[in-house]
């Protein structure tokens, strides 16, 4: 009987494979993941897994990894996700923490888990590009053109995404905004 277990931890921007002893607790696995990626602000994150019944659950720190009812796959699959949110985003100190938060929120919006109005999506896209190009020469036309091109491409992608979801799965947003499909379509076209 093997004394180690193969584990795969997927974060928003990387995939890590570990071979851990069977006696490893959830907290020890989480600490190993945090050390590997260089995450210092560990209190905001946790490891998520899909149990045998298909539900998402958080790994418990003091419970052994093998004692969790993780879906039987080789290797065992875990996801590094945001577990707690700060009251103010300025509390996030480390660049890696900010990046993981950004990627998590972006994933929630694009997967239609959280509804986001078009003007807020454009603002978020501008923040992302501003963060990416903060060290560029503002007088340079090429960089400015590239910035607006990426911003335009993101907004266009978001409107196409909303347009297709309007006809294929608008129910979440319509219920979220407590409106009718006609009013929601008018809102999208007038924004």
d(C-alpha 9, C-alpha 80), whole Å? 7
- Averaged pLDDT for residues 152-160: 72
- What pLDDT, on the 0 to 100 scale, is given for residue 117? 80
- In this predicted structure, which of 23-27, 119-123, 139-143, 169-173 has the lowest mean pLDDT? 139-143
d(C-alpha 48, C-alpha 12), whole Å? 12
- Averaged pLDDT for residues 155-168: 65
Check residue 178 and give left, alpha or beta (phi > 0: left; psi -120 to 50: alpha): left
b/e code 44-56 from CB counts within 10 Å (16+ = b): bbbbbbbeeeeee
Residue 79 parent element (H or E) = strand 76-82
- What pLDDT, on the 0 to 100 scale, is given for residue 31? 95
Taking the model in full, what pTM does it have?
Answer: 0.64
- What pLDDT, on the 0 to 100 scale, is given for residue 145? 63
Q: Residue 139 pLDDT > 90, yes or no?
A: no
- What pLDDT, on the 0 to 100 scale, is given for residue 27? 94
- Averaged pLDDT for residues 89-111: 84
Mean per-residue pLDDT over the chain, rounded: 80
pLDDT tens readout for residues 30-71: 999 999 999 999 999 999 999 888 899 999 999 999 888 888
Q: Residue 92 pLDDT > 80, yes or no?
A: yes
Tell which wins on pLDDT, 141 or 23: 23
pLDDT tens readout for residues 124-134: 777 777 767 66
d(C-alpha 184, C-alpha 172), whole Å? 11
Report which DSSP code applies to 91: G
């Amino acid at each position: 009987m093997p004394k180690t277990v193969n584990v795969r931890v997927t974060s928003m921007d990387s995939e890590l494979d570990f071979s851990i002893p069977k006696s490893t607790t959830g907290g020890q696995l989480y600490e190993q993941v945090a050390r590997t990626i260089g995450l210092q602000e560990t209190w905001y994150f946790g490891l998520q897994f899909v149990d045998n019944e298909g539900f998402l659950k958080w790994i418990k720190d003091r419970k052994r990894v093998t004692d969790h009812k993780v879906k039987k796959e080789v290797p065992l699959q875990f996801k590094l996700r945001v577990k707690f949110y700060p009251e103010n985003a300025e509390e996030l100190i480390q660049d890696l923490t900010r990046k993981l938060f950004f990627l998590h929120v972006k994933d929630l919006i694009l997967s239609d888990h959280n509804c986001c109005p078009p003007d807020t999506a454009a603002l978020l896209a501008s923040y992302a590009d501003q963060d990416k190009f903060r060290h560029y020469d503002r007088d340079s036309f090429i960089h400015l053109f590239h910035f607006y091109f990426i911003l335009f491409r993101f907004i266009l992608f978001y409107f196409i995404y909303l347009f297709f979801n309007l006809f294929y799965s608008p129910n979440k947003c319509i219920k979220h905004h407590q409106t009718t499909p006609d009013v929601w379509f008018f809102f999208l076209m007038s924004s």
